[in-house]
Amino acid sequence: MPPVDIPLRPCNPYYVASVFAIFAFIWILVVLLNRLYTSHVSFILVVPLFIFTIGFFNAECIDCELEGDVFKVTFITVGLLLSLPLLKFFNENNEDRQLNHVIFLAIISILISYYHVWVPHEDRHVCKAIQSCLETFAITLYIFAVLIIFLK
């Protein structure tokens, strides 16, 4: 008997928008209750609110295909996230400031590429291009860090 394709139920925009609104509220509570806003780098804490706002306003455009696209994992980024701290750990010269800086930039590039921006189907290629560029930054910085360590 051949497999039967069961059509996926279309996503309800009301529920999707509600999820983004609820999690924006939860994020604000987390920041306030943990007093994260007192840090000198607290400006980064507004990024999830921007992401949730974009998702909230694009809730009507979200389909099941977008959900599949957003949650795909790139194994390159997972590998980099695991191996970059190991580069620093196994480096015998732990006071190399350039290596620290390069590893920091690579990790930040990879982590930023993991933000899921929920946009309509027509604009999805822009988000994928941005993610690809950030992954390219991280891979190049990773190669540079390896060269710093092994070509001394």
The reported pTM is: 0.64
Q: Could you read off the pLDDT of 119-134 as tens digits, one per residue?
A: 777 776 677 767 777 8
Residue 29 has pLDDT above 90, yes or no: yes
By the 8 A CB rule, do 64 and 118 touch?
Answer: no
By the 8 A CB rule, do 145 and 102 touch?
Answer: yes
> CB under 8 Å to 114, separation ≥6 — which residues?
77
Q: Could you read off the pLDDT of 82-102 as tens digits, one per residue?
A: 777 777 776 666 667 777 788
Residue 2 has pLDDT above 90, yes or no: no
For the record, the structure tokens of 112 come out as 């930023």
pLDDT band at 45 (very low <50, low <70, confident <90, very high): confident
Per-residue pLDDT at 32 = 92
